Structure 1
Amino acid sequence: MPPSSPFLQAADIQALMRAEHGDPFAVLGPHETADGLEVRALMPGARQVAVVHSRTGWPLSILARHEGSDLFSGLVPAAEARMGYSFQVDWETGHASRLEDPYRFPFVLGETDVWLLAEGTHLRPWERLGAHLREIDGVKGVAFAVWAPNARRVSVVGDFNNWDGRRHMMRLRRECGVWEIFAPHVATGDSYEFEILSARGEVLRKADPFAFSSQLRPGTACVVAPLPAPVPMPAGRAEANAHGAPISVYEVHLGSWRRKHHGQEWLDYRELADTLVPYVRDMGFTHIELLPITEHPFDGSWGYQPIGLYAPTSRFGTPGDFRHFVEAAHAAGLGVILDWVPAHFPTDAHGLGNFDGTALYEYADPREGFHNDWQTLIFNYARTEVRNYLVGNALYWLERYGVDGLRVDAVASMLYRDYSRKAGEWVPNAQGGRENLEAIDFLRRMNRVVGVERPGAVTIAEESTSFPGVTRPPEDGGLGFHYKWNMGWMNDTLAYAGTDPVYRKHHHQQITFGLMYAHSENFVLPLSHDEVVHGKGSMIGRMPGDEWQKFAGLRNLYGYLWAYPGKKLLFMGGEFAQYAEWNADRGLDWHLLEHAGHQGVRRLVRDLNNVYQHFPALHELDHEGAGFEWLVHDDVAQSVFAFVRRARDGGVVVVVCNFTPVPRHDYRLGVPVAGSYREVINTDGVVYGGSGVGNGVVESSPVGWHGKSDSIVISVPPLATLMWVVA
């Protein structure tokens, strides 16, 4: 019979056996008693447990089993045990193993970490929470820590303990609500989850919110992986993200760009590094934007319902493979932007919802915490710990993978409490208004932290309302984003482009109206994945007319996009006029490039990118009124528009757009300076599949027109955009 101890009660033993003990460190491990140093171990399935010296293996004691339990205890020589001890376990299965005692190791979290986590100001919570490879007292293992303040008990379970919640019950650091334990022998590649006993007695199995790697669905476990090393931000990468830089983004869903094995399998991150990266570079784009690559359970969400915000999805490989992809992009001179989703998360049982048996990460009231449109949960931005989790996550991708920017999804849904809700279905803020003040505070803090800790990186808001100051600094009352998607421009432009040319004169303002606010924010002009799904068809499918007019209309749309003030974004497939609506379950229709019309569109996009980067007038003053001037905005009858783009040094590009299928010959156009004008882009060029109406080089004459002292006379091709520079 093992020695009695005032610290070891029958209730403790029963609580341990039922995995209900909330303070296992108070019972298990080494403890001073009146009789000496007593070691206690809970070993379900053990036949005998001996204590041996860690270094020499010499036996120190054979522990006795407490009757009717799997608890073993016994006195050990104090001096030898304090130098380090292990367990020699003989199992009922007949095999034996040498184990370290997780309950003999000290705290995982330092006092400063506890303070900052409790305060919600830990800039890098991922350096402490989650699963971290550690070596303590010469023993290798993993330090686990998870925030679950309302749980009665938390255990880490995995292959290393037969998924038995009694084997690694964790210690609660009450000051910050974090449970922790150092688990010896656990190593890279081991699967794990957290088993949580809620206050109501529910046993929950949860994925680690800070997991660096995860199993591929339908698996739900996390995978121990090293914390990626920091990646410096080279000056060139920061310059490539600047407001005056040419930014042309190729938006990609990795699972459907290309596929292998007859379309049945995805390319992995390394294969994408070898194929996607050189393709994007050859096409002249400056950045790749990836639909969310954070771990998600459902393929059909395209990543927009994430569960593992700190883990690159295992669909395409390991975290190391993803890092290789980013490095390959940077080596090719490309920036990498990730779509990032801090607006909501799915209700899957192993996810963040009801994490410790309470609404921990989400608002408790469904009028605040549930998205009816998406059937997802909304982050509780009022909790400092939740804001800290999300702000830390933004910094994590920028610092630890070296990505260049984050495009923040569904910002409008975060800003307004009544987003997509009827009267009576939402809760006003503390001031009685509709704005989500906590979410606004979170976004400002996130952008402020990114600006200070990762200068040169950018954040981009997908924000579809007229919320003021999205790209103004927080200190000036703004949200602090670097760029905002121009959803108004996109909607108006696509509506106009989809209108039969004969009726476009009645919709002239859809083109001109955008210039009323074009410089109110730092805009990105998006033709994104959202515009080619859910029955909207493809880009070329939106164009009216016969096949020739469809191709000409699409080329015209792209010429207009690349000439208009704002950074550019085009979803994959659009660059070669994909006919079919995007389907995430199959690859793009690359065979279309066997046809000249599709080849022509792709060549045009490449040339547009090259011209856009070569002439500062097309990008340098994107966000300043001085960079744009109308020449023709009132030619309603002919649906012709003309404008000037300017650079800081006075350089100009003159742009003419004809949105009808009728060529306009002998069209006199005022020009900003006298001289010879050379076409650098003509979307009607034969090489692009057009009719070949063009001008080459024309000389201006001193004939006043459109408010200018000089003018040129040109032929404006049908459904085409021309760009001119002074020769």
Structure 2
Amino acid sequence: MTPTPPPADTFWIGETDAWLLAEGKHLRPWQKLGAHPTTMNGQAGVAFAVWAPAARGVALSGDFNGWQHQPMRLRPECGVWELFVPGAHVGHWYKFAVHGADGRTVMKSDPYARQTELPPGNAACVCEPLRTPLTAQGTHRRDNAPMAIYEVHAGSWKRPGGWDVMPTWDDLARELVPYAAGLGFTHIELLPVNEHPFYASWGYQPTGLYAPTARHGSPDAFRRFVQAVHAAGLKLILDWVPAHFPTDEHALARFDGSALYEHADPREGFHRDWNTLIYNFGRHEVKNFLVGNALYWVEQYGVDGLRVDAVASMLYRDYSRPAGEWVPNRDGGRENYEAIDFLREVHQVLQREAPQAITLAEESTAFPKVTGAVQEGGLGFDHKWNMGWMHDTLAYFAQDPVHRRWHHHKMTFSMVYAWSEDYVLPLSHDEVVHGKGSLLAKMSGDPWQQRANLRALYAWMYAHPGKKLLFMGAELAQPTEWNHDAELPWHLLGDPAHAGVQQLVRDLNHGYRETPALHARDTDPHSFQWLVVDDADHSVLAFARYGQRVDDTVVVIANLTPVVRHGHRIGLPHGGAWRERLNTDAGVYGGSNVGNHGRVLADHQPMHDQTWSAAFTLPPLSVLWLQPETPAA
């Protein structure tokens, strides 16, 4: 016997919700749109709702009705079509048959689906009722706690089930989480986990913004993974892509037969670099969809932060467009006011509703105040990737040491602007794809020198002001470019030279976390001082990082040539004994074991504008960290 449907005047979406959705002010739109198990008029079933204001009709199709087209009702005041289906339940699959404004009927996936079929399938699944919001882990958003991020592509970190079997979230909870914690990282950052049809997009072309990809298991399994991250004392950051979406017909593209989520004008709505569509940030329902999504991942899964992809492409209307092929803003300029307002709104909502969640911007231009407070005219991000530092530093290490004297400025220029934003220093997946080779392959010299350069690069980064990010495989000194179709080359750890680099990364993480001078005043320009900045002829650099106390001081010395320098005198901020806290040339790391026998003595001999100095043995292609034992008066 077929259950009797509720009366026509019984609506799933009440008047207040309808008004909030129409105004784009619904704080949690996922609570009403999508599929929701509920009871109406005493009957158990599922309420379905989808926004498609220009559609001529929308029908619901699923395994609960034999995949027949069951007409839905339009709520004209908010452009939402809804239907309550008695007897439908958790686990049922469904799609929307949208008869669009263009006269075509297209089977569409639910934009608010919380679980989807394994690609290439694209049906949505009715999920369990939404849970009580979870609280993100962590301390205050604007602290100077250490942040060492391990960036991971979930599908290719390790494949315990076989080379052609995707790891599950439970696999990753069991293996990735203790591995990252054991190496001393503070955060795991996952490349986008939103559902995406094209695996080789690595998640950067998502179609299901509210659904963790089915490639690794169910939403509950992903929730268990997040809980495992937190249980290990780590925090989790997700890459998030609100800049654009793919053109797949089953997804958001021309969703109701019109340009609904995207701009109608391709000069605004089509991304030439990625052949994707650009969200219409000026449409308040679209902005509501995206702002709600940011809050959703924090509240429903307990995610600790979002790294926002391709921010530069959002900020500028002429991004990657020649003259005459972009639409100026209302003032005739290139800034995208609507996208700027959207980013500020995201941060206002997160700061109010989830103040412990952080955001990071992948932003490659000089746009001002990316990490400035919204109330002060900034975008509101907590951190910004320092792409300039990354490009300059990698370009320097690619140079043969004999030529490095002519590129010395690439190692010093970052300190000119280091305090303009709150930066993350990224050695990310972007640097090991599309023919760029691995980080190791970028280094100059023979294999021994390449590994020495790589160790020096890592120690330089960990001492330089800014948070830290390493893409998976960097700790193995992977010689080949990242391959998303295979796991990392774990066999390399059988070679002491590669295992030594992994040990260095472990020691760098722990040293960074345990040493206040390297993080506690990370945004304070008085916490940094150049000691040797102009010795281009020897490719030697030195600087001091200062904590709150004298014994917190760390001096960092780099010798970026293969020449061992004996008796090389460098000025120091304190007298007395200095212990060699870290030496990248140590034998345990695969180096030649040249050094200072663990300590040096600073005497009262002024040099480099310092009262004290010491004579050092500088190992080849190396970085030293030193700390005072008993500072002199």
- TM-score per shorter chain, which class? over 0.9
* Bigger relative contact order (CA 8 A; separation at least 6): 2
User: Do structure 1's residue 531 and structure 2's residue 435 form an aligned pair?
Assistant: no
Contact map agreement 1:228 1:401 (CA 8 A) in 2: no
Aligned-partner SS, 1:427: coil
> Number of residues paired by the alignment?
627
Is 1:137 the equivalent of 2:38?
no
Corresponding residue for 2:51? 147
Alignment partner, residue 78 of structure 2: 176
The answer to whether structure 1 residue 364 and structure 2 residue 237 are counterparts is: no
Task: Tell me by how many angstroms 1:150 deviates.
Answer: 0.6
Q: Say which one has the larger Rg.
A: 1
Q: Give, in angstroms, the shift of residue 228 of structure 1.
A: 4.3
Q: Which amino acid aligns with 2:540?
A: V
- Of 104, 110, 128, 1:208 maps to 110
Separation (CA, whole Å) in 2 of partners of 1:614 and 1:242 = 19
CA contact (8 A) 2:601 2:614 kept: yes
Return the offset for 1:698. 1.6
CA distance in 2, matches of 1:222, 1:372: 30
Cα deviation, residue 623, structure 1: 1.6
- Deviation of 1:648 after TM superposition, in Å, equals 3.1
1:205 is displaced (CA, Å) by 1.0
**Partner amino acid, structure 2, of 1:279:** Y
Q: Give me the identity figure in percent.
A: 57
User: Paired residue for 1:308?
Assistant: 208
Question: Does residue 1:468 correspond to 2:368, yes or no?
Answer: yes
Distance in 2, matches of 1:176 and 1:262, equals 49
1:714 equivalenced with 2:613 (yes/no):
no
SS at match of 1:100: coil
Aligned AA for 1:155? A
2:161–2:167: 8 Å Cα contact kept in structure 1? Answer: no
Q: Give distance in 1, aligned partners of 2:327 and 2:3.
A: 53
SS at match of 2:498: helix
The one-letter amino acid of 1:430's match is R
Cα pair distance change 1:378/1:588, threshold 3 Å:
same
1 CA distance for matches of 2:67 and 2:361?
Answer: 42
Is 1:694 the equivalent of 2:595? Answer: yes
Give distance in 1, aligned partners of 2:174 and 2:164: 19
Residue equivalent to 2:99? 197
Q: Does structure 1 residue 266 correspond to structure 2 residue 170?
A: no
Tell me the secondary structure at the aligned position of residue 468 of structure 2. Answer: strand
* Equivalent position of 2:30 in the other structure: 126
Long gaps (5+) in structure 2: none
Return the match for 1:457 from 357, 369, 385. 357
Q: Is the contact made by 1:387 and 1:442 (CA closer than 8 Å) also made in structure 2?
A: yes
Distance 1:228 1:570, change over 3 A: farther
Cα drift, residue 231 of structure 1: 4.5
Letter in 2 for 1:658: N
| Counterpart residue identity of residue 489, structure 1 | W
Deviations 1:244-276 (A, max 9, x none): 100000000000001134311011001110000
Q: CA–CA distance in 2 between the matches of 1:108 and 1:280?
A: 45
Give the whole-Å Cα distance in 2 for the aligned partners of 1:128 and 1:532. 42
Q: Which moved more, 1:280-289 or 1:659-668?
A: 659-668
Contact in 1 for aligned 2:267/2:327 (Cα 8 Å): yes
- In the alignment, the residues of structure 2 paired with residue 228 and residue 249 of structure 1 have an alpha-carbon distance, to the nearest angstrom, of 30
The CA distance in 1 between the partners of 2:576 and 2:92, in whole Å, is 70
Looking at structure 1, the residues matched to 411 and 41 of structure 2 have their Cα atoms a distance apart, in angstroms, of 69
SS at match of 1:160: coil
SS state at 2:139 partner: helix
Aligned-residue offset at 1:238:
2.3
Once the two structures are TM-superposed, the CA of residue 613 in structure 1 deviates from its matched residue by 0.2
Number of the residue aligned with 1:605: 505
* Equivalent residue, structure 2, for 1:297: 197
- CA contact under 8 A between 1:242 and 1:456: conserved in structure 2? no
Contact residue 102 and residue 258 of structure 2 kept, 8 A: no
Cα distance, 1:103 vs. partner? Answer: 5.0
State how 1:230-269 maps to structure 2 within 5 Å: 230-233=132-135, 237-239=138-140, 242-269=142-169
Map 1:499-518 → 2, pairs under 5 A: 499-518=399-418
2:321 and 2:405 map into 1 onto residues whose CA distance is 37
Tell me if structure 1 keeps the 8 A contact 2:98–2:106. Answer: yes
Alignment of 1:483-498 (within 5 A): 483-498=383-398
Aligned pair partner of 2:585 in 684, 688, 694: 684
1:260 aligns to what SS in structure 2?
coil
Shift of 1:202: 1.1
Partner residue in 2 for 1:343: 243
Paired with 1:278 and 1:691, the residues of 2 have a C-alpha distance of 31
In structure 2, give the amino acid aligned to 1:616. P
Alignment of 1:534-573 (within 5 A): 534-573=434-473
Please name the residue that 1:480 is paired with. 380
Which of 522, 525, 529 lines up with 1:625 in the alignment?
525
TM-score, normalised via structure 1 length: 0.85
- One-letter code aligned to 1:291: L
Shift of 1:714: 1.2
Distance, in Å, in 2 between the alignment partners of 1:311 and 1:105 is 31
Q: Is the 8 A contact 1:243 1:623 kept in 2?
A: no
Residue 381 to residue 554, structure 1, CA distance change in 2 (3 Å):
same
Distance 1:368 1:159, change over 3 A: same
> Partners in 2 of 1:262 and 1:455 — Cα distance?
41
What do residues 307-365 of structure 1 show as CA deviations (whole Å, max 9, x unaligned)?
00000000000000000000000000000000000000000010101000000000000
Determine the C-alpha separation between the residues in 2 that align with 1:148 and 1:132.
Answer: 18
Summarize the alignment of residues 4-153 of structure 1 with structure 2, pairs less than 5 Å apart: 88=1, 98-101=2-5, 106-153=10-57
3-state SS of paired residue (2:555): strand
Which of the numbers 310, 315, 319 marks the counterpart of 1:410?
310
CA distance in 2, matches of 1:231, 1:352: 27
Q: Provide TM-score, normalisation by structure 2.
A: 0.97
The residue number in structure 1 matching 2:127 is: 225
| Counterpart pick for 1:579 among 479, 484, 489 | 479
**What's the offset of the Cα at 1:226?**
2.1
What is the rounded CA distance, in whole Å, between the counterparts of 2:359 and 2:179 in structure 1? 25
Deviation string for 1:35-74 (max 9, x for gaps)?
A: xxxxxxxxxxxxxxxxxxxxxxxxxxxxxxxxxxxxxxxx
What is the CA-CA distance between 1:649 and the residue it aligns to? 3.8
Matched with 2:572 is: 671
Q: How many angstroms apart in 2 are the aligned matches of 1:655 and 1:261?
A: 44
Structure 1: give runs of 5+ residues left out of the alignment.
1-87, 89-97
Shift of 1:485: 0.2
Matching residue of 1:40? none
Matched with 2:176 is 276
Q: Give the counterpart letter for 1:502 in structure 2.
A: V
User: What letter is aligned with 1:128?
Assistant: K
Native 8 Å contact 2:151 2:188 kept in 1:
yes
Q: Do the aligned partners of 1:243 and 1:622 also contact (CA within 8 Å) in 2?
A: no
Give, in angstroms, the shift of residue 242 of structure 1.
Answer: 4.4
Q: Encode CA deviations 1:252-305: one digit per residue, 9 max, x unaligned.
A: 000000113431101100111000000000000000000000000000100000
Q: Which amino acid aligns with 1:682?
A: N
User: Which letter does structure 2 place at the counterpart of 1:724?
Assistant: L
**Aligned residue number for residue 66 of structure 2:** 162
SS at match of 1:161: coil
In structure 1, distance between residues paired with 2:616 and 2:131:
58
Residue in 2 that maps onto 1:615: 515
Residue type at the aligned position of 2:18? V
Deviates more, 1:258-267 or 1:101-110: 101-110
- Provide the rounded CA distance (Å) in 1 between the counterparts of 2:129 and 2:605: 67
Question: Deviation at 1:699?
Answer: 1.7
- Give the drift of 1:452: 1.1
Counterpart Cα distance in 2 of 1:588 and 1:351: 32
Matched to 1:318, the amino acid is: S
TM superposition shift of 1:104: 5.4
